[in-house]
Structures are given as structure tokens and as C-alpha cells.
Amino acid sequence: MSYLDDYLQSITNKEHFWKLQAAKLAWTVAPQTILREPKTHFYEWFPDGITNMCDLCLDVHVHQGRGDQTAIIYDSPVTQVKEQITYSHLLDKVSRFAGALQILGISKGDTVIIYMPMVPEAIIAMLACARIGAIHSVVFGGFAPHELALRINDAAPKAIISASYGVEGQRKIPYKPLVDRAIEEASMKPEHRIFFQREIAYDALDQAGELDFYKILNASSPVEFVPLPSTHPLYILYTSGTTGTPKGIVRDIGSYAVALKYSMSAIYNIHPGDVYWAASDVGWVVGHSYIVYAPLLQGCTTVLFEGKPVGTPDAGTFWRVVEEYQVKTLFTAPTAIRAIKKEDSKGLLLKGKYDITCLQSIFLAGERCDPPTLEWLQQLVHIPVIDHWWQTESGWPMLSIPMGIEPMAVRPGSAGVPVTGFDIQIFDEDGVMKENNSEGNVVIRLPLPPGCLTTLWKDDARYVKEYLSHYEGYYLTGDGGYFDEDGFCYIMGRIDDVINVSGHRMSTGEMEEIVAAHPAVAECAVVGVKDALRGQRPIAFIVLKDGVPETKEDIADQIIELIRNQIGAIAYLKNVYILQKLPKTRSGKILRKTIRSIVDHVPYSVPSTIDDISVLDELVALF
């Protein structure tokens, strides 16, 4: 079947199409109903199916005789540890840890926060939660305690699972003090705090509720998986929102499993036994979907890499991993490729040193890949390099080249064609469809296909307001873009105040709240500007209150430290500029788009509603 046949069937006869895909899973009870709409714009796929994600990822393969196959390759150049875990061994660890959670009183519907570095125990914890029907919420280990506290309050977990430390360069970042500070700040207090000791007795777990990961695992017996409704939540994954308050994306079990399994073969051309490597982090959606669940659903070997594309030890690390483990498909972010290109622009750390003929394709996502970077990589590796597009909300790709159905020539700058099931259109502000090569808002006709978010955690109203209220019957992605005359789509960036820093979504609105809280700041604006390595980064503009005693340099340093402490170093706020006034409209709206254009040196028109045009001169002089 061609891509076009597959795609049209998924749009015009969607229930039949997804019924065929669902049949590829080993359901506990196969669904008879494929799609229903219990209330307006809220859809349920396979609502009467019974399943369990851990069963689909582990038990099924062991029962089919694949228990001795490697499930996880763990490679940690920062700690010099390598480990390979078979499906049977992983199932034993997961089922025992699931038993330990049950002993602690954690069961179906309870929430558990996982705040861990890139270690196998993070995957064990995720799958153990899935095994007993607990809803996990993985928080990226680079987030500061304040961000963790916000998620604790929203998710109200019975337990938090963490580790001794993460590694950043040559430094160990102790996690327990961060967890302790987050719990102290949070109004909700997890009853249990479980720590994986990366070194013997690294942390003194002597307070009430503090437990050792492997002590409780080894003391428990394996438990069977709990059969669950297809629509039961698998996890909550928080993403930045325009208000600065994190949004808890809710993903169900059955439709997510169907979508991920389909994507592995249709998009990535990956099949049971293949080695797949998503060079991301379990704290992000890529880690959930393509480090953990999709590869294991498909019976693959997944690579869990604790390191960086450069510095661990050099810009040839990715190629070393590809060769050593015979990786068939690599998935990473453009930021990683730009970092490699910066340190090894001639590709000398690949040429003549590593044999990567096993590698059939490289997929990029998280931010738009600039054409020069894509073309540099293409010329270096001589295989398809596909820049595809998706979001935390979608859970799997929305635009791509379907390498498993119909490989197509890559068009630099384009994220490919619509993925099966996604009815993507380009609208202007009034909901009128834009012509080809004309940029507008990227929207998707409802219902969204399987695997996408079902709502926001305990906040249906916000889900409707933020995603479904702008255009009746459509999901608003928050991105702008256009189609060319051949149906290839180009995503040009966010239309709100969420920016992509190294592929990770950050809210400039949240940063503004933190900056504005500084006692010396009268008002502020934080905008995302272009960055050659990270794609985007935030910079802050502030107006000081009268009579501030500190020096401007001290205040700037304090604000940078505030962002680092409350969000984390990942926000990468490095520049704070002090202005006499912020450019505004006469009604008081800060002209963030104009500021961004001046900083990025792109043409802009001065809004007719500007309050004081001379304010722009100060900005122009700075940049």
C-alpha cells in the first residue's frame, strides 16, 4: 500500500483503519468499539478493550520465547558503566518492584512521581507503575526544586522515586537535597520517598518514609500485571503552558500502544529484534515514547544513553554507540547535531574511525532543523536524515517521511508529510484555510488519532480552552507553518510565548513571573531569540524601580540565578538587559514580537499603536 492510500483510508475510514492496527496488539480483551465521543470533543479510542502496557512491553515477548533477547542497552560514558538487560531479566525486576509498590499501598489510579537520571531504574519504575495501574509522572532531572514542587502539588503523588545523583560533565548533581527542598516547598507531601543508591549508602535514608530502591525490590515477590481499561491513564507528563503553570498531559494505555506500535514500522521502519536509539531523556515525551514504550512494544532493543553528544568524551560519541550496538535508526535533536558539527565540522571523528553502515536513517525532532545543519549531516552520513515534527501533546509524530511505507526524498526545511491519522490544515485567524505556500496556524481536525492527549490532568476546562476553543472542531497546535504545492509541510515556530531551548519547551511567561518577583524590578519582558546552537534561548529585559541600591550588574546576576534556581540551568537565561522603558502599545501591551525582531535582526514594522517610538532606539542601539 502507498503512503497516500494509507493516509486517505485513515482519514475517510478511520475506524476501520485503526481497528486493523489495534489487531496487531495482544489485548487481554480485544476492543469491539473503536471510537466513541462520550461528550463533545472528548474522544475515546478502543474504550471497551482491556490491556496493560507492561504486559505488552514485557510479558508478551517473554511468553513468545524472546526472553533472552536484550531489551535495554545501558551505556553511561559519564560513569563508565555499560549493561545489557534481557526481556526476562527486565520483567523480573519490574514485577518485583511493582510488588514493592503494592506493599506500600500503591495501586490502580494512584500517582507516582519519578525524578531520575538516565539509568535503567527509571525505566523499571515506569513499567512497574504501568504494571499495577499506578499513573506515573516523570519529571526531567534537570528541573529545579520549584518546578518539581509544582508538579508534586498538581499530581498529588503517593510516592516519589529518585536516585542518588545525576551527572553533568564531570560533576555529580545530588538529587536527594533537591527532592527534599521540593517536598518542603510543596503543599502535598508524598508518603513514600524511594531512592536508587548509585553508590552504596550514598544517601542516609533515615527519615520516616525514606526507602532504598533495591532493598524494597529484593524483599518483594514478582506480581502479575493488572488488566486495565484501554482508556485508563498511563501517565501524566507536564509541559510548559503560556500561563507559566505546567500542563499535565494525560495519555491513555490502549490508543497510545496502538499508535506507537504502528509508528515503529510505518515511520521508522523498525521491526522486532532491531536496535533503536532515541538519544533523549526519559523526562521528555521522546523518552517516554521512543526510549521506553515504543521499542519495547515492538520487541526491539532500546539504547539508554547517559551522556552528551560532545564532551563524553568527544564529538564522536554518537558514532561510537551506533557502531558498538549496531543501531539501525537514531533519533535525536537538531541541537545535538549542531553541537557535533561545531566541534567536528569536517566529520573527522567519524570518517575512518567508526563503521556506521548499520545505520539506515536519522530522525530529528524537538525543534526545526535549519537546512544547513541537515544538509551537513546528510553529506556526512550518506543516509536519509528526516526532520519530523510532533509535540508532547501528540505523543508520536504528526509530520514525517514514512520510511516504512514509502520513503520519499527529504526537503530541507520541511518536516515531511502528514502522518497517517492526522488531518492537518493551515488556517488564518478567522478559520479560513490558507493557500499553499502561505503561512498560518497549524490545526488538526478532530478527532485526533490514537495516542494523543485525552485531556489535561484534572482540568478538562483548560484542555478545551487552550486547544479546542480557537477553531470549532479543530485542535490548535500552537505552531505556525505552511504546505507547499506537493503536500510537504514546513513548521516555522511557535505562535505563543513558549520557546524551544535545545528542543525543550520553556515558557517565557513563567520566566517573566520569576523575574518580576525580584524586588528591584518594576516590569519586565522575556523573549525567545535565535541561538546558533540551541535553536532558541531566552533573554530578559527589565525596567528598574526608582532608588534601587544594587548595581545593574548585581541585579542581572541575581535574576540569572533566580531562573537557574527556580527552573533549572536548562532554561539557559544568560543575558539580562536594563532599559529605561519597555516598548508598548498605547493600551499597555508589551511589543514582544518587535523586541524579538530587533534582537534577531529581522525586518519589522513599527506598530501604529506604539506608545513611544523613541523607546525602540535604545533597543536598536543594544543590538
4-41 per-position pLDDT tens digit: 999 999 999 999 999 999 999 999 999 999 999 999 99
- Position 173 scores a pLDDT of 94
Residue 405 and residue 418: Cα distance in Å, rounded?
A: 13
Query: For the segment 115-149, what is each residue's pLDDT rounded down to a tens digit?
Result: 999 999 999 999 999 999 999 999 999 899 999 99
Residue 152 and residue 60: Cα distance in Å, rounded?
A: 33
Residue 397 and residue 391: Cα distance in Å, rounded?
A: 8
CATH number at residue 563: 3.30.300.30
Long-range pairs of 23-28 with CB within 8 A, sequence gap ≥ 24:
24/258, 24/261, 24/262, 25/51, 25/56, 25/254, 25/257, 25/258, 25/261, 26/55, 26/56, 26/60, 27/51, 27/254, 28/52, 28/55, 28/227
Q: What angle do CA 46, 49, 54 make, to 5 degrees?
A: 105
For residue 498, what is its C-alpha cell?
513558549
User: Is 589:525 a contact under the CB 8 Å cutoff?
Assistant: no
Tell me the range of 453-467, 523-537, 600-614 where mean pLDDT is highest.
453-467
Torsion of CA 238, 240, 246, 248, to 10 degrees: -30
Query: For the segment 177-226, what is each residue's pLDDT rounded down to a tens digit?
Result: 999 999 999 999 999 999 999 999 999 999 999 999 999 999 999 999 99
User: Which residue spans within 171-231 are E strands per DSSP?
Assistant: 171-174, 192-196, 210-212, 228-229
Does 511 fall in a domain?
A: yes
CA-to-CA separations, 247 to 39, 155, 243, 288, 472, in angstroms, rounded:
21, 11, 10, 17, 22
Q: What are phi and psi of 172, to 5 degrees?
A: -90, 130
Does 293 fall in a domain?
A: no
- Position 609 scores a pLDDT of 64
Residue 582 and residue 331: Cα distance in Å, rounded?
A: 41
- Full residue range of the structural domain in which residue 577 is found: 498-622
- 3-class DSSP state for residue 609? coil
Does 270 fall in a domain?
A: no
For residue 367, what is its C-alpha cell?
525543534
- Claim: this prediction has a pTM higher than 0.85: yes
For residue 173, what is its C-alpha cell?
548533581
Which ranges of 35-78 does DSSP label H, i.e. alpha helix?
A: 53-54, 60-63
Q: Quote the number of domains for the chain.
A: 1
Does 228 fall in a domain?
A: no
For residue 254, what is its C-alpha cell?
490502549
CA-to-CA separations, 296 to 21, 58, 222, 449, in angstroms, rounded:
17, 7, 20, 21
**Which amino acid does the sequence have at 142?**
G
Query: For the segment 377-388, what is each residue's pLDDT rounded down to a tens digit?
Result: 999 999 999 999
Does 612 fall in a domain?
A: yes
Is the pLDDT assigned to residue 160 strictly greater than 70? yes
Residue 185: how many other CB atoms lie within 10 Å: 14
Three state DSSP letters for 232-294? CEEEEEEECCCCCCCEEEEEECHHHHHHHHHHHHHCCCCCCCCEEEECCCCCCHHHHHHHHHH
User: Is 362:380 a contact under the CB 8 Å cutoff?
Assistant: no
Place of cell 533523549: 280
Does 580 fall in a domain?
A: yes
Does 313 fall in a domain?
A: no
Query: For the segment 55-83, what is each residue's pLDDT rounded down to a tens digit?
Result: 999 999 999 999 999 999 999 999 999 99
Is the pLDDT assigned to residue 365 strictly greater than 60? yes
- 3-class DSSP state for residue 408? coil
Is the pLDDT assigned to residue 278 strictly greater than 70? yes
Q: What are phi and psi of 378, to 5 degrees?
A: -60, -45
**Share of residues in the chain with pLDDT > 70 (%):** 98
Does 245 fall in a domain?
A: no
- 3-class DSSP state for residue 562? helix
Is the pLDDT assigned to residue 608 strictly greater than 80? no
- Position 454 scores a pLDDT of 97
Element (H, E) at 493: strand 489-494
